[in-house]
Structure 1
Amino acid sequence: MTTSTVKRCRRSSQTTSTGGDAVPAEDVDDDVMTDTNSPMLTSNSLSKRDSEEDAWASKGYNYINPFVHRLEIDSHIEVAKIYVLTVLLLPIRVVGCVLSLLSAWMFACIGLYGMTLDDLKAKPLSGWRKQMQYMTAKAMRMLYTSGSFHHVSMKGTPATPKQAPILVVAPHSSYVDSILVVATGPPSIVAKRETADIPLLGRIINYAQPIYVQREDPNSRQNTIRDIVDRARSTDDWPQVVIFAEGTCTNRTALIKFKPGAFYPGVPVQPVLLKYPNKYDTFTWTWDGPGVLRLLWLTMTQFYNRCEVEYLPVYQPNEAEMADANLYANNVREVMAKALGVPTSDYSFEDVIIMSRARDMKIPFPGDIVEIERTIDQLGLLESTRDAELCAKYLSLSNTDKLDIITFAELLQVDLKNPSLHKLFALLDHRRRGTVSLKSFLLCSLFSKLKNADLSTFLRALINLYSESSEKISRDSFVRLMRHAGGKLNEQKAQVLYYALDTANIGYVSFDSFVEYTEKQSNYKFLYHKSEHIRRSKTTVASNPN
C-alpha cells in the first residue's frame, strides 16, 4: 500500500453479494479444449489493448455515481499505524472475532435443538428459546466489539413491533451494516436461502427467524412479499423485520430507489439511518471499490470505529401510499434523504446488474454505462441507426482514437450546441484530454441497444470494429471480438475456439461458421441466452453533485 492511496480493486469476484457483484466466470469446458497443446497458443498474443476498454469509470463528468467508492489514506503516520497494528492488534482481534462467532454458533445450536426451518417460519420463538436468541445476539455483538466497533450510538426512540412491524434501513453501504441487527433486539432479516447453509453463520442467521428468498424460484418475489405481509399483519409476537430498502450497497452519497417489498404490507414503518462518522471510510463495499478483505484489514487495524444508528419517527402511510407501494417507498426515501442531508438518485439495484454485465463484456467505463445510455437516449441516438452506420465504415475512418468534439458531433450528426452532446463527450473523455475514442462510443451505444439480446447478436453487431468482413475474420480479430463474449472466453480459450473453426488452416474464419459450431456445443449456450431481465434505463437527470 502506498502512502498516497489505498488502491481501488474490483469488488471481489471471489465473493457474492446482494448488490450486484459479478459472478465468477465459469470455465468453458468443451471438447475443443483438448487442443491446448497447440504451439500457436503460446505466441502471437494480442499486442495492443484499448485503454478505454479497460477503464472502469470516467473522470470527465461530475455526477453522483452511488456505486463507486475510492479510499485514500494520504498520511505517512496513518500508513505506519496500520502496519504496526497489523502486527500488534490484528491477531488479537481475529482471535476475539473467532471466539465470539463460535459462542454465537453454540448458543444458536442450543436454541435450535429439535427445530426445523418450517418450525421457525410457523411461529415466533418464546420462553427459553427466546432468551437463548438474545444470548446469540450478544455474542454476535461481541464479534463487532472485537472487530473495533466498541460503541454504537443510538439516537431516537425505537418503536415496538406493534407500532412499526418493519424497520426500513438506509443507506446500505457495508458488510458491517448488520451491526444494527445484533445491537437491537434482535429483529428478523430478509436473506437469501443459501445463507442458511453457510458454515457457522447459517445457524446464527436461522435463529433470527429470517424471511428467506428463494432466488431459483420463479415466484420468489411474490412469495417473499407474501411472507413479509403475513409477518407485518400477524397478531403473534413476531420481532420486527429489518429491510435494507435500497437492495444493494452504495457509497452513501445519495439514496437510490427503494425496492417496494417493505411497503407492500401498507403498515407503519420506522425509518432507521446508519452512519459511520470516522476519519477514513473503510466500510463502504460497493460495486466498484476496494474488496472485502482489504476493507476488513483496514477496519480492524484502527484503534476503534464509530457507528451511529438513528431512529426516525414512525411513518404512518396514508390511503394513497397503502394502495401504491412505490409511492410509499418514494415518500419514505424523501424523509430519510432529508434527515441524512443527501439527495435522492434515480439509480437502482437493477443498474448494478447492467454495470456488471457491461464489465463482463469489456464495455468501456462500465461504472458510467447507465449514465452514458441515458445521455445517448437524450440525444435521440438509441432509436437511430447512426452507430451501425459508423460501425460499417469504422476501419476506413482515420484518427478514430482521438476525436475532438467538433468531429465527434459531425460523425454523430448532432448539433454541436446540444448540452447532452457535451455531457456524453465528457463521460467518454476519461483522461480529460479533449478527445474521445469512436470505438468506445460505439461499444457503449451498441451495448445500450442490445444488452437484452443474446451475446451472439451483440458480437455480430461488433464485427466491423475488428474485421473488414464477417466472412474473413483473422485470428487476432476473432480473439479481440471474443473479448466481448461476457467473460467466459479468455484470450487462450478464444484462440482454441478459433483453431477448432479453422480446421483447414486457411488463416481466417467466418462468423456464420462460429455460430454454426457453437450452437451445437452445450458449453456455449451462454452465447444464445437472452438477458430479458435487464431493463432499459429510462432517460432521467442524474443527481446533482452539489
Structure 2
Amino acid sequence: MTTSSIKRRRSPHAAPASNDGESLENDNDNNSSRTDSSNSRALPNNRISISNMSKRDSEEDSWASKGYSYINPFVHRIQIDDHIEVAKIYVLTVLLLPIRVVGCVLSLLSAWMFACIGLYGMSMEELQAKPLSGWRKLMQYWTARAMRMVYTSGSFHYIKMKGTPATSKEAPILVVAPHSSYVDSIVVVSGHPPSIVAKRETADIPLLGRIINYAQPIYVQREDPNSRQNTIKNIVDRARSPEDWPQVVIFAEGTCTNRTALIKFKPGAFYPGVPVQPVLLRYPNKFDTFTWTWDGPGVLRLLWLTMTQFYNRCEIEYLPVYTPSPAEMADANLYANNVRQVMAAALDVPTSDYSFEDVIVMSRAREMKIPFPGDIVEIEHTLDALDLLDSKRDMELCEKYLTLANPENLDIITFAELLQVDLKNPDLHKLFALLNHRHKGTVSLKSFLVCSLFCKLKNDEIIEFLRALIKLYSESSEKISRENFTRLMKHGGSKMTEQKTQTLFYALDPDNVGYVSFDKFVQYTEQQPSYKFLYHKSEHIRRTKSSKATPTTN
C-alpha cells in the first residue's frame, strides 16, 4: 500500500500544540514553545517518547502539521520521559562515553594502519584494475575487522545475521534498505568486505580515505558528465569479469528515512540489469538513538545518545537473490520498484511515493520559511487532486487578502467557499486538516496561500515568488513599509537574513521616506552580485506531477 492510503484522523482527545500557528507570523516567531510531540504522528511505533533532550532543528513554529496524520518518512523524534533512563545517560556520559570514544579512535587508527600496509606500493590505477589477492586480500579482511571494532566500541556489540549471503558471481550488487543513519555502514564491515559507490573526493578524507580506497570502491566523479554511464559500466564489467571482484553495496533509497516505509528506490543499482541480493537492516532496540533524518536530531546528539546506551543491536537479513526478468532488465525503474516491493513485504512496512527529490523540495520550503515544510509535498499532492495547482484562485485571493474579514481563522465552510471547492470533496477535508495546525477547527488563509504559491513557483526564480506574495503583506507594491518589507523578505531564503534585509531596505530608501517599491527592489538587486540567488531557477527540484497519474503500489 502507498503512503496516501495509510492515514488516519488525529484523535479529538489529543492535546493541542502550545502555539497558535494558524497565522504565518506565529509560525515563524513563536518557535520556542513548540514541543516535539507535535510530530508524533510521523514516528515509527517503537520511537521513544525524551522531552528534556529533544532537538530543536527548526526556526519555524513547526515543521509539520498535526491536523492530518500520514506516514512522513523524513521526520524523527527522540523523547525519553523515564527519569531513570535520563539519569543513566548522564552517568554513562561520565563513566562510559570517554572509554568508548578512545576505543573508536584506536579501532579507526588500527583500520587505517592495516589499509596503509595493504595499499603499500599500489597506485590508484592498479587498485581499480583488478581485485586484491594474497596477503593484500588478508589485510583487507583485517581492515574490515578493525572497522567492525569501531562499531563494537560505539555500543553495537550484537549483529544477528539471517539468510545466506550470495557470492559476487551470484549477485554483483547488494541492495540495502531501509537507510536510516550513518550506522547502516555496519553492513559493509560485518562480513566479507564489499565495495561501495563513493564520490571521488572521499579518497582525500583523512584516515577514512585510505580505508575507503582499500575497499576498491567504484568512484563517481560528479564533474564528469558521463559519470552515471561510467559507474554503470564499471559495475557491469565487474559483474561479468572472471576475476573475484567484491560485491557493490548500494543504499537504494538515496537518503535517510525513519524506517516507517520504503521510499522510491533510485534506479542506479538496477541500470546494469544484473541480479541483486536485497539486504534488510533492522535495529530491535529499546531506544532509537541513531536514526538521522531530514527533520530530527543532529549527528552529535545521536552519537552521544547512542554511545551512552549499554549496548545496541542490529539485524542484517540477506533475502534470496533477485534475478531480473527481460522486462526489468529493460526498465530500471520497474526493476527497482519490484525489488522494493519484495523488501517492503519482508520488513512488513508499506511503500511510499516519497523520494529523495521530495527531501529537496522540503529543504527548499524550510529555507524559504514556508509553513509546515515537512508537509509541503503532501499539501502539493492534495492541491493537485483538487485541481488548484492549475487554478488562479490563489492569486485572486492574494489580491483581496487584506480586505477579508478574519482571514486567519477560517472554518471549513468559509474555506471551501473561498477556494470554490465542493464542501463534500474529501481532498478539501484533507487539505483543511493538514493546515489545521492546532486542531481548533480553523485554518490560516495566509498559510494556505504561501504554501500554494510555493508549490506552483518552486522551480521559478525566488523573485517571482516574492512578487506573488506582495499583496499578503502590503496594500501596494509601490509603497512597502520597512516592517512589511521585512516580513516579505523572510521568504527570500536563508541568505536573506533580517540584518541583510534591514540593510537592503535602507539602501533602497536613502531619503528615509519609510517605504520602498518592489520594482525599485528588483532594479537594485539585479545589479548586485550578492543577490544573484534571487534570480536563480531551481530546475533541479522535482516538478509537480499529477497525483491522479501516480500508480498505486501494494
For normalisation by structure 1, the TM-score amounts to: 0.89
CA drift of 1:417 comes to: 0.6
Between 1:227-236 and 1:305-314, the stretch displaced more is 227-236
1:272 matched to 2:319: no
Partner SS, residue 329 of structure 2: helix
Would the aligned equivalents of 2:384 and 2:547 in 1 still touch at CA under 8 Å?
no
Partners of 1:421 and 1:326 lie apart in 2 by 32
State the alpha-carbon separation in 2 of the partners of residues 210 and 218 from structure 1: 19
Query: What's the CA shift string for 1:477-508, capped at 9, x where partnerless?
Result: 11111111111011011111111111222211
* Counterpart check, 1:345 vs 2:352: yes
Q: Which moved more, 1:263-272 or 1:101-110?
A: 101-110
Could you say if the C-alpha distance between residues 502 and 406 of structure 1 is closer, same or farther in structure 2, counting changes exceeding 3 Å? Answer: same
Alignment of 1:525-540 (within 5 A): 525-540=532-547
Correspondence 1:296-307 to 2 at 5 A: 296-307=303-314
Asked if 1:433 corresponds to 2:444, the answer is no
Deviation at 1:215, TM superposition (A): 3.0
Q: Which amino acid aligns with 1:326?
A: N
Structure 1 residue 292, shift from structure 2 partner: 0.8
| Alignment counterpart, residue 125 of structure 1, candidates 92, 110, 132 | 132
* Distance across 2 between alignment mates of 1:93 and 1:437: 50
1:261 aligns with 2:268: yes
Whole-Å separation in 2 of the counterparts to 1:255 and 1:134: 32
Q: CA deviation at 1:425?
A: 0.5
**Corresponding residue for 2:168?**
161
Distance in 1 between residues matched to 2:401 and 2:267, nearest whole Å = 45
CA distance in 2, matches of 1:195, 1:242: 16
- Indicate the residue corresponding to 2:382 in structure 1: 375
Offset, 1:9: 3.3
- Deviations 1:4-36, CA, capped at 9 Å, x for gaps: 45314329xxxxxxxxxxxxxxxxxxxxxxxxx
The match for 1:72 is: 79
Report the counterpart of residue 95 of structure 1 in structure 2.
Answer: 102
For residues 311 and 3 of structure 1, what CA distance do their matches in structure 2 show? 33
The residue type equivalent to 1:525 in the other structure is K
* SS of residue paired to 2:68: coil
1:10 matches 2:72: no
Separation in 2, partners of 1:414, 1:380: 10
- Structure 1 SS opposite 2:516: coil
| Percent identical residues | 80
Q: Report the CA distance between 1:85 and its aligned residue.
A: 0.6
Aligned to 2:69, the other structure's residue is in SS state coil
1:56 & 1:424 partners in 2: Cα distance? 16
Report the AA paired with residue 85 of structure 1. L
Of residues 151, 167, 183 in structure 2, which corresponds to 1:176?
A: 183
Deviation of 1:3 (Å) = 5.7
Matched, 1:331 2:338: yes
Do the aligned partners of 1:10 and 1:288 also contact (CA within 8 Å) in 2? yes
CA contact (8 A) 1:4 1:75 kept: no
CA-to-partner distance for each residue in 1:437-473, whole Å, 9 max, x for gaps? 1111011100100000011111111111111111111
Q: What is the aligned partner in structure 2 of residue 42 from structure 1? A: none
**Match of 2:411, as an amino acid?**
D
The CA RMSD measured in Å over matched residues stands at 2.0
Q: 1:434 to 1:201 in 2, by over 3 A?
A: same
Match of 1:23 in 2: none
Where 1:303 maps in the other structure, the secondary structure is coil
Report how many aligned residue pairs link the two structures: 505
Distance 1:338 1:260 in 2: 19
1:32 is matched with which residue?
none
> Could you say if the C-alpha distance between residues 88 and 433 of structure 1 is closer, same or farther in structure 2, counting changes exceeding 3 Å?
same
Q: Equivalent residue for 1:56?
A: 63
C-alpha change, 1:233 and 1:477, in structure 2 (3 Å) is: farther
What 5-or-longer segments of structure 1 have no aligned partner? 12-50
Equivalent of residue 470 in structure 1, options 464, 477, 484: 477
SS of residue paired to 1:307: strand
Shift of 1:395: 1.4
